[in-house]
């Protein structure tokens, strides 16, 4: 990581200096904010951590509970989510603390003794090279802790206001810059029943499956219930079952069970199939106890034993797949004339079974998609119409999840084949699991063509960086210090766009073409996105972070011979940034050009969004197309946003820029078709 840019700072480099703009945390919720986030689950905290990076944006986050979550709920963290955690700088800590899922085993009734179970299959959980990160398991509460720490250490010093329950949201566009009025009720015994009113430019309901925000904007979850009760428990137990430290799917005559090995080496999560429910019956009516859960698990484990010593957490639930038709408050068909003011994210807009481990992951990805867009609008980089793209992109992803989960849940609950034509062949179950591993790893998301994701006409230049999918990182060698790094880890949660220039053969010596010509265009042309959208006085990479990857060895490349934009002067002292130029040549193995199918002759420019998705693959020399792409959804900078947001004067400038830019563009909207592409 990079630090000391604006002067030497002792202590933890992850703790950013507090911005003078940071709203001091007081007992009362601020009466007026840019963004009010409702709910401190994974969705709300992802969004809060993202917005906390921008102290000029006034963000508040409220939670009905009196403090942070301590145990239970979700635990699966997909590879794609780990890539996102890297953007927040805590992936390493999750790697250290979590349990890694390497293989999955499958068990079925023994043909000779059907009341016994036997192992019938074993698959690798994550295919080689799918991501630089593994699939891991960690308690949701620990994920919350890491986000809360990120927020505490951010320039905004953002902290939740606990014991606040959202009661209502009313939107009145005529009410000026803060059209959403939110009523909160305090829930702690000392203040129970007291109400607070907050006015906000935008409200994001991350308030879970029973979302009051969703109800306030008149949306509902629609879908199906499977009328099947399941139990989940985190246990410390003694067992002779051999695969207890693997992820395991058991289909038995006594029901189905999933084992999730947990962090720390001793804890185990068991998902246990319980009762079939009646048409109108709710799971609570069955009054299922933890003792019944344990007994059911013991029956399924037979002939193996399970001696539960401690239950750390348990819950019962019923399976259903439900989704909202729209994730914001603008009625379908009114996108041309209205700006969304209230959004819902996570379980507030899609609920499904927990067994594919997608709930927490999908919820955080919803918030990561929305976070940079809200920041771009509030910082005046994009018009508010950009915000329609959140629903367009994420509702389609949610729909895919619901379809996948319906099938997956049905298969898990099916009885194993009885040899008479009834039930599910355990092999079929395993095959379905294997076929969807990329999807469950979170890397299957593919946003359709829109203003934010270009078409794929130049995809052949870099076949492994598919437009609309997440940037698939690979190793490169930094030429300034010969360190091997993951290129994708340049993509931090800082709202910046990444421009990865893959140089064609001999490009390093080409004065007129390739990377040099691109840098000249970016530095000098009036059409350059860098000149159009970076405010006077900001660092040259404040909005667009250009990185170059050459095919020559680092010994043949000199940083001093690079265009200034590739080792730019930045910060208070004009220090050089030495971390933007890489060689593809490693000591061992295929290089990034081979791994990701980059054209060695022509090279390619890969444009990556602030949420790490590939927006465009294009020739290095198609400068006009690059300019046109960004002109489609960005606003030319008019004011002087500051070079150093930590200096008091600069901070005030940034805040003023937000206000004028939000007003300036509040009724502009891009053509609806631009945002409605959904996902492929
Ligand atoms: C009891 C429970 C058990 C679960 N078990 C599993 C599991 O075993 N495995 C699995 O994969 N997933 C499980 N899940 C689902 C998983 O936790 C979610 O998919 C994931 O947490 C979704 O994140 P979210 O941020 O959208 O919502 P949530 O995590 O539900 O967070 C919503 C937050 O909003 C708060 N809130 C709600 N209403 C209001 C209001 N009106 N005002 C203010 N705050 C409000 C809630 O207190 C909560 O903190 C479980 C969820 C629950 C609730």
Query: What pLDDT is recorded for position 425?
Result: 81
Question: Nearest residue CA, atom 36 of ligand 1?
Answer: 207
How many angstroms from the chain centroid is the CA of residue 220? Answer: 24
Query: What pLDDT is recorded for position 676?
Result: 52
Ligand 1 pocket, 653 CB below 6 A? no
Above 50 in pLDDT, residue 68? yes
Ligand 1 atom closest to Cα of 165?
Answer: 42
Q: Two tokens at 319? A: 């399976």
Above 80 in pLDDT, residue 452? yes
CA 639/CA 335 separation, integer angstroms:
28
What would the pLDDT profile of 167-208 be if each residue is shown by its tens digit?
A: 999 999 998 999 999 999 999 999 999 999 999 999 999 999
Of residues 643, 42, 92, the one with CA closest to residue 354: 42
Length of the chain: 680
Above 90 in pLDDT, residue 677? no
Distance from the alpha carbon of residue 347 to the mean position of ligand 1, in angstroms: 7
CA 498/CA 493 separation, integer angstroms:
11
Query: What pLDDT is recorded for position 286?
Result: 77
Above 60 in pLDDT, residue 275? yes
Above 90 in pLDDT, residue 244? yes
Of 184 and 224, the one with more pLDDT: 184
CA 95/CA 81 separation, integer angstroms:
12
Distance from the alpha carbon of residue 108 to the mean position of ligand 1, in angstroms: 32
Distance from the alpha carbon of residue 74 to the mean position of ligand 1, in angstroms: 8
What would the pLDDT profile of 453-470 be if each residue is shown by its tens digit?
A: 999 999 999 999 999 999
What would the pLDDT profile of 322-354 be if each residue is shown by its tens digit?
A: 999 999 999 999 999 999 999 999 999 999 887
Percent of the chain past pLDDT 70, that is, above it, reads: 94
Query: What pLDDT is recorded for position 609?
Result: 98
User: Max CA-CA distance within the chain?
Assistant: 79
Ligand 1 pocket, 366 CB below 6 A? no
Question: Nearest residue CA, atom 38 of ligand 1?
Answer: 207
Of 151 and 176, the one with more pLDDT: 151
Query: What pLDDT is recorded for position 186?
Result: 97
Ligand 1 pocket, 62 CB below 6 A? yes
Q: Two tokens at 598? A: 């980059």
CA 48/CA 206 separation, integer angstroms:
11
Ligand 1 atom closest to Cα of 269?
Answer: 8
How many angstroms from the chain centroid is the CA of residue 627? Answer: 28
CA 492/CA 679 separation, integer angstroms:
23
CA 445/CA 83 separation, integer angstroms:
14
Ligand 1 atom closest to Cα of 43?
Answer: 25
Task: Provide the pLDDT confidence category of residue 573 given band limits of 50, 70 and 90.
Answer: very high
What is the arithmetic mean of pLDDT over 611-633?
A: 97
Above 50 in pLDDT, residue 663? no
What would the pLDDT profile of 632-647 be if each residue is shown by its tens digit?
A: 999 998 654 433 333 3
CA 415/CA 427 separation, integer angstroms:
13
What is the arithmetic mean of pLDDT over 373-383?
A: 97
Ligand 1 pocket, 231 CB below 6 A? no
Above 80 in pLDDT, residue 666? no
Peptide bond into 335 cis (omega under 30): no
Cα-based distances in Å from 461 to 188, 500, 593, 596, 622: 58, 13, 10, 10, 13
Query: What pLDDT is recorded for position 653?
Result: 45
Above 90 in pLDDT, residue 443? yes
Strand, helix or coil at 657? helix
What is the arithmetic mean of pLDDT over 225-250?
A: 93
Above 50 in pLDDT, residue 649? no
What would the pLDDT profile of 491-515 be if each residue is shown by its tens digit?
A: 999 999 999 999 999 888 888 889 9
CA 475/CA 458 separation, integer angstroms:
23
Ligand 1 pocket, 270 CB below 6 A? no
Task: Provide the pLDDT confidence category of residue 60 given band limits of 50, 70 and 90.
Answer: very high
Question: Residue holding tokens 């890539």?
Answer: 83
What is the arithmetic mean of pLDDT over 282-306?
A: 92
- Do residues 390 and 370 make contact, with C-beta atoms less than 8 angstroms apart? yes
What is the arithmetic mean of pLDDT over 44-61?
A: 98
Question: Nearest residue CA, atom 29 of ligand 1?
Answer: 41
For the chain, the average pLDDT equals 91
What is the arithmetic mean of pLDDT over 287-307?
A: 96
Continuous segment of H or E residues that includes residue 196 = strand 195-205
What is the arithmetic mean of pLDDT over 407-426?
A: 76
Ligand 1 pocket, 40 CB below 6 A? yes
Ligand 1 pocket, 137 CB below 6 A? no
Ligand 1 atom closest to Cα of 167?
Answer: 41
Ligand 1 atom closest to Cα of 76?
Answer: 11
Ligand 1 pocket, 73 CB below 6 A? yes
Query: What pLDDT is recorded for position 282?
Result: 76
Ligand 1 pocket, 315 CB below 6 A? yes
Ligand 1 atom closest to Cα of 348?
Answer: 26
- The residue whose CB lies within 8 Å of the most ligand 1 atoms, and thus the one to mutate among 68, 347, 353, is 347
Ligand 1 pocket, 359 CB below 6 A? yes
What is the arithmetic mean of pLDDT over 301-325?
A: 94
Ligand 1 pocket, 38 CB below 6 A? yes
Question: Nearest residue CA, atom 1 of ligand 1?
Answer: 73
What is the arithmetic mean of pLDDT over 256-277?
A: 94
Query: What pLDDT is recorded for position 657?
Result: 47
- Do residues 674 and 393 make contact, with C-beta atoms less than 8 angstroms apart? no
Task: Provide the pLDDT confidence category of residue 472 given band limits of 50, 70 and 90.
Answer: very high
């Amino acid at each position: 990581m990079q630090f000391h840019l604006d002067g030497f700072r002792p202590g933890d480099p992850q703790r950013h200096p507090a911005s003078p703009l940071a709203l001091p945390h007081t007992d009362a919720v601020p009466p007026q904010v840019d963004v009010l986030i409702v709910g401190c689950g994974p969705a709300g905290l992802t969004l809060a951590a993202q917005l906390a990076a921008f102290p000029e944006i006034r963000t508040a986050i409220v939670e009905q509970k009196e403090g942070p979550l301590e145990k239970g709920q979700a635990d699966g963290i997909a590879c794609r989510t780990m890539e996102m955690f890297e953007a927040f700088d805590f992936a390493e800590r999750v790697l250290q603390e979590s349990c890694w899922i390497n293989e999955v085993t499958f068990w079925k009734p023994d043909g000779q003794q059907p009341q016994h179970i036997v192992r019938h299959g074993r698959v690798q959980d994550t295919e080689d090279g799918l991501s630089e990160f593994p699939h891991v398991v960690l308690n949701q509460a620990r994920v919350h802790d890491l986000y809360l720490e990120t927020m505490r250490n951010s320039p905004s010093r953002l902290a939740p206001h606990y014991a606040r329950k959202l009661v209502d949201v009313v939107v009145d566009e005529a009410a000026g810059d803060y059209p959403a009025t939110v009523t909160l009720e305090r829930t702690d015994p000392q203040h129970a029943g007291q109400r607070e009113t907050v006015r906000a430019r935008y409200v994001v309901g991350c308030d879970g499956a029973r979302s009051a925000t969703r109800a306030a904007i008149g949306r509902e979850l629609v879908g199906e219930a499977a009328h099947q009760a399941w139990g989940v428990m985190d246990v410390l137990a003694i067992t002779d079952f051999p695969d207890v430290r693997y992820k395991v799917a058991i289909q038995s005559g006594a029901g189905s069970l999933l084992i999730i090995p947990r962090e720390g080496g001793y804890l185990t999560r068991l998902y246990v199939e319980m009762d079939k429910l009646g048409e109108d019956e709710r799971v609570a009516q069955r009054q299922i106890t933890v003792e019944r859960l344990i007994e059911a698990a013991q029956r399924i484990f037979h002939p193996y034993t399970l001696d539960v010593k401690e239950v750390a957490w348990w819950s019962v639930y019923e399976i259903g797949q439900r989704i909202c038709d729209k994730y914001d408050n603008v009625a379908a068909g009114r996108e041309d004339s209205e700006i969304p003011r209230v959004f819902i994210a996570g379980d507030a807009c899609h609920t499904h079974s927990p067994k594919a481990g997608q709930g927490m992951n999908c919820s955080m990805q919803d918030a990561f998609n929305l976070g940079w867009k809200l920041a771009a609008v509030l910082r005046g980089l994009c018009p508010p119409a950009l915000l329609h793209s959140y629903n367009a992109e994420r509702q389609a992803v949610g729909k895919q999840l619901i379809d996948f989960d319906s099938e997956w849940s049905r298969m898990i609950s099916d009885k194993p084949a009885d040899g008479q034509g009834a039930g599910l062949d355990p092999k079929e179950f395993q095959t379905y699991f294997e076929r969807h591993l990329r999807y469950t790893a979170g890397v299957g998301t593919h946003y359709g063509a829109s203003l934010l994701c270009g078409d794929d006409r130049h995809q052949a230049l870099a076949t492994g960086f598919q437009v609309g999918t997440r940037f698939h990182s690979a190793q490169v060698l930094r030429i300034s210090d010969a360190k091997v790094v993951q290129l994708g880890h340049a993509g931090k949660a800082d709202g910046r766009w990444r421009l990865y220039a893959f140089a064609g053969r001999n490009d390093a010596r080409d004065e007129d073409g390739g990377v040099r010509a691109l840098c000249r265009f970016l530095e000098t042309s009036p059409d350059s996105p860098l000149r159009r959208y970076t405010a006077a006085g900001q660092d040259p990479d404040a909005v667009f972070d250009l990185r170059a990857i050459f095919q020559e060895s680092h010994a043949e490349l000199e940083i001093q011979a690079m265009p200034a934009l590739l080792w730019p002067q930045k910060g208070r002292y004009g220090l050089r940034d030495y971390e933007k130029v890489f060689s593809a040549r490693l000591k061992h193995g295929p290089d990034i050009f081979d791994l990701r199918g980059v054209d060695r002759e022509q090279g390619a420019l890969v444009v990556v969004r602030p949420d790490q998705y590939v927006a465009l693959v294009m020739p290095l020399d198609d400068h006009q197309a690059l300019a046109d792409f960004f002109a489609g959804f960005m606003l030319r900078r008019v004011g002087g946003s500051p070079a150093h947001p930590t200096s008091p004067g600069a901070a005030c400038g940034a805040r003023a820029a937000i206000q004028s830019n939000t007003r300036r563009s509040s009724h502009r909207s891009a053509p609806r078709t631009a945002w409605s592409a959904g996902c492929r």
